[in-house]
Amino acid sequence: MKFSGIIVSFSILFTLTALRNAGAQDSCSHQCGELLSTCSCQVTCQSLGNCCPDYKEFCLQISPYSGSLMGGKDFLIENTAFNTSSVLTCRFKQEIKTSGYTAKDGKGHCISPLLYETGFIPFEVSIDDGRTFPYSGTWLSVHHSKVSDEEKCTLVNETKWQYYGTPNTYGNLTLTWTHQALAETHVNVEVWGYHETGDSYSENWLAEWKYLYTLAREIPNTGKFTFTPIPAEGNYSTWDFGILRITPSSYSDGQSNIPSLWSNEHALAWHLGKDFRDDPNAWATAKCMEWDRKEEKLPNFKEEIIDCPCTLAQARADTGRFHTDYGCNIEKGSVCTYHPGAVHCVRAIQASPQYAAGQQCCYDSTGTQILTHDSTGGSTPDRGHDWGSPPFLKPPRIPGFSHWLYDVISFYYCCLWSGNCQFYMKRRPSSDCRTYRPPRAASAFGDPHFFTFDGLNFTFNGLGEYLLVESDLTSLRVQGRTQQGHLPNGTGAQGTGLSAVAMQENNSDVIEVRYSEDLNLEVLLNQKVLNFSEQTWMDLKGLFLHSTPDQNITVMFSSGCGVEIRGNGGFLTLTVLLPEKFMNHTQGLFGVMNGNTEDEYTFRNKTTLPVHASPQQLFEFGANWAIENGTSLFTYDTEFLLNNFFYGEKHSASFLPVFFPYEDPADSLVEEMVSLCGSDPFCRFDVLTTRSLQVGNSTRLSHQNHKLLVEHLEPVISCGWLDHPINGTKNGTNYLLGSTIIFLCSQGYELTGSKERTCQASGAWSGDTPSCIQKIAIEQLILLGCVFGIVGVAVLARLTFLCRKERMLYSKWG
């Protein structure tokens, strides 16, 4: 189904038809999301007043709306009452069936299934034993690590579970859970294992969670279970990565898609066989060597992953392509267990195109990237991206679990359970930043003021809906709506500000961020208002969506384009980040991204304005980029939006803003404005047009943030990693422009080549490669020559050749 201005316009036209039609109404049975001839089953119908009479019966609202992709979550169907004798069947993706039930209050319940993907999953409900499925809704499947701890059972002292059987790690283990989460008096505890079968990177490569055995049966549902692990026997002991599941005892062992509580996925050291207990180091070493041999035969995924940003500032600024690694977060105290010495790590948001691999980049307290060549705390790329990648379902794209199988359990083999970490680091070396190119940033904020990708700025405070940026490279469209500001007395100001931004790339979902009429910030997914109460990160079609607690919204498209939106002083502040590949592929109010400011103000007909165009000329330029209903991505679901933006002009010709606000020395506000704004022209402009210091301050902060962002995204030159000489050391691990690395030799060795090398603007190191030569080697040759009387010219020539080769001619030979 397409979500565009065309669909919305049909919806609005049919609203009038529906209101006039007194005859039979259509039904939403089997039709949710559709626009029917006499009424609507689309989500906008409630605010537009054109819903079919049975819309709420068949188009389901559920609570909770999300849960782990492992399944087993009981969710309530809120808006429909069923007959208590009804037998509910819930069907996900038209193929995966689970048994639902009707509670005593007539409310229906479904159980979410085990899935191998994340994102919104369509589901349907049957009340006739699966013959028809007239009811429908969506369920949000979530990466297992992003589910709250309250929804899982807890491995108390998880480290002990994962090191059990290694030296000094024995005793009892304890599992806890919220007993009210399962409405049974007795429960079972099961062990499940994960594996991927078939040939790597082939059609028969498949993922499977498999029930192994029941650890404890019919124990009281008290919320706690303690036991002493015994080594698994037979084939069970070969499963070293898995999970625990707690289920009501009334269900069969290993029964799928039933009410469940899952633990975190973890290394199953506690259940491994006697051979592991007898000699964990030897067992793990053998596993590490086996993994190393397998890696040798697999494709080199590192050739296609994006390079890391050179600095921590770049990594945190490039929000379209990198996001915080929750295992090492500077905003959560920098608890970086697997990366000692790091204060923050990021992960590449998108998996690599062919092999679905992931990138990780870690930084120290100086903002310098940490490399595995220098430290075990360095960042390591991943054969399987931790967050998975569309279309999911098959290896190595399974969210979380492919990554565990190829990059985490192998770390246990080589680094945590044995002392063979050099094998792991050889296969997972850090990427440096020599080929990293930061994105370009464009911003709009305040009245609004526009900062283009190539660095120009201008003010365009037209009233309407406009194309901010469009690219033929990926069919990217970002559109903005402006509304008139208001003075403190409630009258309209002679200025506007962004009130809504809508965006789409290729055939991705459509995201809109807007201020509602009561000035609450709303995020719409394909015209439906999203609820972030359960999940702040969502895997959607063609994009990822993230919302912070203070409602900063980030949209990350698959191309690497990032869009950041935040509410600020009653107007939206927008930033668009585009990777280098978009050069010469953009148009709109943010200009032509090509490093040339001369063509920044390009009209649709490709004519241009000069760089120093007047505000009135720029007003014409902005008006030229008004959109049409047929290409609009916005949702028009209120009378206000219909009258003012759908039926009204896309650019209001009757609204004339102020171009040069007057600073009246007699105006008492001017003194406060000068104190607040200083020399910031945008802050001063907005204070004068809105008569609001709050709006001016928001503009000032947004301007500062944009300047800081552009500063952080300045290109940085890297000369690449330098090794220390054999039998020597180096001082320094910063390989960026201007950095100097100093080399020293161990005692008994002398340095040849350069004692220090500096990273130059050309991207090359100064000097020559150093080496450390044993001091006594030449003296021993001379002594041997004297003892055996070898003083001939030929020998002398040979000695001279050897000495020259090592650059150590001794003058006493002359």
Q: How far apart are alpha carbons 370 and 334 in whole angstroms?
A: 14
Place of tokens 């009561």: 518
pLDDT given for residue 37 in this prediction: 93
Given strand 562-568, what is the order of strands in its sheet? 457-459, 449-451, 440-445, 571-578, 562-568, 552-557, 543-547, 537-540
Nearest to 23 by CA among 3, 65, 53, 43: 53
pLDDT given for residue 296 in this prediction: 96
Please indicate, yes or no, whether residues 502 and 522 belong to a single structural domain of this protein.
Answer: yes
Please indicate, yes or no, whether residues 268 and 287 belong to a single structural domain of this protein.
Answer: no
Q: Which of 428, 455, 476 is the last residue of a domain?
A: 428
Q: How far apart are alpha carbons 728 and 578 in whole angstroms?
A: 44
By residue range, what is the domain housing residue 167? 149-278
Given strand 756-758, what is the order of strands in its sheet? 728-731, 740-745, 756-758
Based on C-alpha coordinates, what's the Rg of the chain? 32
Residue 782 has pLDDT above 90, yes or no: no
| SS3 state of residue 226 | strand
Residue 10 has pLDDT above 60, yes or no: no
Q: What is the pLDDT of residues 11-66, one digit of tens each?
A: 444 444 444 343 457 999 999 999 999 999 999 999 999 999 999 999 999 999 99
35 part of a folded domain: no
pLDDT given for residue 786 in this prediction: 52
Tokens of 112: 């979410």
Q: What is the pLDDT of residues 322-339, one digit of tens each?
A: 999 988 999 999 999 889
pLDDT given for residue 781 in this prediction: 53
For residue 389, name the pLDDT band (cuts at 50, 70, 90). very high
Please indicate, yes or no, whether residues 513 and 606 belong to a single structural domain of this protein.
Answer: yes
pLDDT given for residue 779 in this prediction: 58
696 part of a folded domain: no
What domain count does the chain have? 5
DSSP codes joined into one string, 719-753: ----PPPTTEEEE----BTT-EEEEEE-TTEEEES
pLDDT given for residue 776 in this prediction: 72
Residue 801 has pLDDT above 50, yes or no: no
- Percent of all residues in the chain with a pLDDT value above 70, rounded to a whole number: 92
DSSP codes joined into one string, 101-155: EE-TTSEEEEEPPP-S--EEEEEEEESBTTS---EEEEEEEE-GGGS-GGGS-EE
Q: How far apart are alpha carbons 150 and 21 in whole angstroms?
A: 50
Please indicate, yes or no, whether residues 499 and 408 belong to a single structural domain of this protein.
Answer: no
Please indicate, yes or no, whether residues 245 and 296 belong to a single structural domain of this protein.
Answer: no
Q: How far is CA 596 from CA 125, 442, 591, in A?
A: 57, 14, 10
Q: Which of 638, 663, 679 is the last residue of a domain?
A: 638
Please indicate, yes or no, whether residues 496 and 480 belong to a single structural domain of this protein.
Answer: yes
Nearest to 661 by CA among 650, 653, 669, 649: 669
645 part of a folded domain: no
**Mean pLDDT for the stretch of residues 759-787:** 80
Please indicate, yes or no, whether residues 485 and 541 belong to a single structural domain of this protein.
Answer: yes
Please indicate, yes or no, whether residues 207 and 300 belong to a single structural domain of this protein.
Answer: no
- Long-range pairs for 627-631: beta carbons < 8 A, 24 or more residues apart: 627/5, 627/465, 627/466, 627/467, 627/479, 628/5, 629/5, 629/6, 629/8, 629/9, 630/4, 630/5, 630/6, 630/9, 631/4, 631/5, 631/477
Query: Which residues make beta-bridge pairs with 99?
Result: 89
For 664, residues 6+ apart whose C-beta sits below 8 A from its C-beta are 670
For residue 809, name the pLDDT band (cuts at 50, 70, 90). very low
Q: Which of 142, 168, 192 is the last residue of a domain?
A: 142
Place of tokens 């967050």: 387
Please indicate, yes or no, whether residues 110 and 155 belong to a single structural domain of this protein.
Answer: no
**Can you point out the beta strands (E) in 376-508?**
440-445, 449-451, 457-459, 465-471, 476-486, 492-504
Place of tokens 């505890």: 189
Residue 561 has pLDDT above 90, yes or no: yes
Q: How far apart are alpha carbons 440 and 706 in whole angstroms?
A: 11
pLDDT given for residue 83 in this prediction: 86
Q: Are 735 and 721 in contact (CB under 8 A)?
A: yes
Residue 812 has pLDDT above 90, yes or no: no
Place of tokens 């190393």: 292
Tokens of 479: 């559109």
**Mean pLDDT for the stretch of residues 707-719:** 97
Q: What is the pLDDT of residues 565-598, one digit of tens each?
A: 999 878 999 999 999 999 999 999 999 999 999 9
55 part of a folded domain: no
* Of 22-26, 86-90, 265-269, minimum mean pLDDT range: 22-26
Tokens of 22: 């007194």
**Mean pLDDT for the stretch of residues 364-388:** 95
**Mean pLDDT for the stretch of residues 385-391:** 94
State the CB neighbour count (10 A cutoff) for residue 174: 14
Size of the chain, expressed as the number of residues it contains: 814
Residue 803 has pLDDT above 60, yes or no: no
Please indicate, yes or no, whether residues 160 and 222 belong to a single structural domain of this protein.
Answer: yes
How much is the pTM?
0.90
**Mean pLDDT for the stretch of residues 766-782:** 80
CATH code, 110: 2.60.40.10
**Mean pLDDT for the stretch of residues 147-163:** 95
779 part of a folded domain: yes
Q: What is the residue-averaged pLDDT of the chain?
A: 92
49 part of a folded domain: no
For residue 797, name the pLDDT band (cuts at 50, 70, 90). very low
CATH code, 625: 3.40.1000.10
Q: What is the pLDDT of residues 400-459, one digit of tens each?
A: 999 999 999 999 999 999 999 999 999 999 999 999 999 999 999 999 999 999 999 999
How would you classify the pairing of strands 756-758 and 740-745?
Answer: antiparallel
pLDDT given for residue 178 in this prediction: 96
Please indicate, yes or no, whether residues 257 and 135 belong to a single structural domain of this protein.
Answer: no
669 part of a folded domain: no
Residue 721 has pLDDT above 70, yes or no: yes
Please indicate, yes or no, whether residues 578 and 463 belong to a single structural domain of this protein.
Answer: yes
Query: Which residues make beta-bridge pairs with 679?
Result: none
**Mean pLDDT for the stretch of residues 612-617:** 96
Q: How far is CA 312 from CA 322, 365, 701, in A?
A: 11, 9, 22
Q: Are 508 and 543 in contact (CB under 8 A)?
A: yes
pLDDT given for residue 780 in this prediction: 63
**Mean pLDDT for the stretch of residues 682-688:** 97
9 part of a folded domain: no
**Mean pLDDT for the stretch of residues 117-138:** 96
DSSP codes joined into one string, 79-116: EEE--TT-B-EEEETTTEEEE-EE-TTSEEEEEPPP-S
Tokens of 424: 């792991």
Q: Are 700 and 680 in contact (CB under 8 A)?
A: yes
